Structure 1
């Protein structure tokens, strides 16, 4: 598995890269590894990217497409920390995944699993994300 490891290392390095296009690619490439703690930290940084909203949007979309509890939990963590502008782009990224041509996991069901998360912010924002999947556009 050296190829997978080197690909993961390259994506991890791109997560801190100055060009926004490389950070977008890193978010997409790292999303399937959302359950790996060090990768999760990098993904949250990408979700809350202060330099370019395209990074926020693309990373949120990639994580929503993965759709695991670990992936959606990272979106919820980011929403809990996001300012209004970032939250809008996080929501747009999730929406992009839901309206895309490929089927995505049931994000609302994944959010229901997060209703018992140990962090209150995750529980609260998972409910917001679930509402996004039903066409509700307002954050609480």
Structure 2
């Protein structure tokens, strides 16, 4: 495990919302690593601070791979309405940012075939969020 990944995993459990939000950003490129994926879903569903949810969703959206978007979809399926609002805001932050992001519609389309019904449901919701935004 790289030192950056290990450090971000430690930060993901910090009492500080700012450290947890930074961990979400730093872990996003490691969405395909099981330990990181588990921590990322926890951060997406952070019950203590909505900024952690928002920044983690934005970071995963910027990665834009089906694996990264799958984590957002899982969180969407488990979220309450307030968390879902902040997940949506994070996704939309990434989509309207100046740097552009990979095609979320393509990732959501791939996830529409996922074996997990919750992922399919979450991906369908994310796809709705992406309509009408431009990078």
Q: C-alpha displacement at 1:55, in angstroms?
A: 0.0
The alignment status of 1:13 with 2:39, answered yes or no, reads: no
Q: After the TM superposition, list the runs of 4 or more consecutive aligned residues in structure 1 that deviate by more than 6 angstroms.
A: none
Tell me how far apart the structure 1 counterparts of residues 130 and 83 of structure 2 sit (CA, whole Å): 18
After TM superposition, give the deviation of residue 38 of structure 1 in Å. 1.0
In structure 2, the residue matched to 1:106 is 103
| Residues 32-82 of structure 1: CA deviation (Å, up to 9, x unaligned) | 000111110000000000000000000000000000011000000000000
Deviation for aligned residue 1:135 = 3.2
The partner residue of 2:118 within 97, 121, 136 is 121
1:42 match: 39
What is the TM-score when the length of structure 2 is the normalising length? 0.96
Residues 17-96 of structure 1 aligned to structure 2 (within 5 Å): 17-96=14-93
SS in 1 for 2:10: helix
Counterparts of 1:128 and 1:78, CA distance in 2:
11
- Where in structure 2 are there 5+ consecutive unaligned residues? none
TM-score by length of 1: 0.93
Question: Unaligned regions of 5+ residues in structure 1, if any?
Answer: none
Which of 127, 130, 134 is residue 131 of structure 2 equivalent to?
134
